[in-house]
Amino acid sequence: YINYTTVTGFFLQDEPTTNSGTFDYSTVNFGLINRTYPTDDEVPADWTQWQKFEHYVWRLNRGSGRFVQYKVLYMGRHGEGYHNVAEAYYGTPAWNCYWSIRDGNGTVTWADARITENGIAQAEKANAFWASHIISQKIPVPQTYYTSPLTRCLETANITFFGLDLPSRKPFIPTVKELFREGISGHTCDRRGTKTYIHDAFPTYKIEPGFSENDLLWKPLQGEVQVDENIRSKTALDEVFSSDDSTYISITSHSGEIASILQVLGHQSFGLSTGQVIPVLVKAETIEAKPIATATQP
């Protein structure tokens, strides 16, 4: 089985003193801490912090052995969706008890919600951040992209990475991955569209093998408990880490799902507002033994 740990000390988001409620990745170089690395004497002194970090991670992987790998996950929450606006408008109790199980209110639709104008602006902000830091900081761009199958993530990923100066051998062609979806609830905003809809609306995206035509996981008035979501998140991470050789990976997902992934990675709790992004340096060790029990309840 694969055991995941977060390698701390590299990003402000790893630090207990960082306030997630007011944190903005775009003002602090993605949260990368200005520090020295043991490998700094191997690189030019005028390299940027990101270049030095990239070299250090490369060294970690080169010396890690057969059963250990290090990856950097750039996890972004989708831009503001119409369901977010509706919950804020009606209030969480009324949203949970009444409005969330409907497709909309006759004026606005939030089933498999699209992103709002504000959500579009948040994704454009991320795009501008990447564009500037690719040039000024030589930030390592994702080598592989994954996205939740829900429309708000499909849209956010497209706006975030469209038109960037990416390597021709590593273009922005995201894989739509079922298990990176939001925590499954009875809310209609968590019900995805059909495979045909996703293919027609985002024809350049890859859809993972085995992706069903209809949403087989969402059921009205039913949902998964936290331990189930964490097991689902670990399954998704296991699939990625077992099949993807990339070191830098982008995952466009949701607040609840990213929170679940962070738990699986042993990262401290760090809430993301819409449009925010968190990078995590992950150590994944393949252990030849029986997996440790992760849950004691059905």
Catalytic residue annotation: 78, 182
What ranges in the chain are assigned the alpha helix state H? Answer: 49-62, 82-90, 92-97, 117-136, 151-161, 195-201, 226-243, 255-264
Structure tokens at 116: 């709002």
Phi-psi bin for 286: left (phi > 0), alpha (psi -120 to 50), beta? beta
CB 294 within 8 Å of CB 20: no
Which helix (H) or strand (E) segment holds residue 71: the answer is strand 68-77
Token pair, residue 276, equals: 């925010």
- Whether the CA torsion 11, 12, 17, 23 is positive or negative: it is negative
Contact 228, 195 (CB under 8 A): no
Distances (CA, A) of 259 to 67, 163, 199, 230, 264: 26, 29, 28, 9, 9
Token pair of 78 as six digits: 């989708």
212-272-134 Cα angle (round to 5): 90
Alpha-carbon span 134 to 170, nearest angstrom: 14
Rounded to whole angstroms, the Cα distance separating 58 from 188 reads: 43
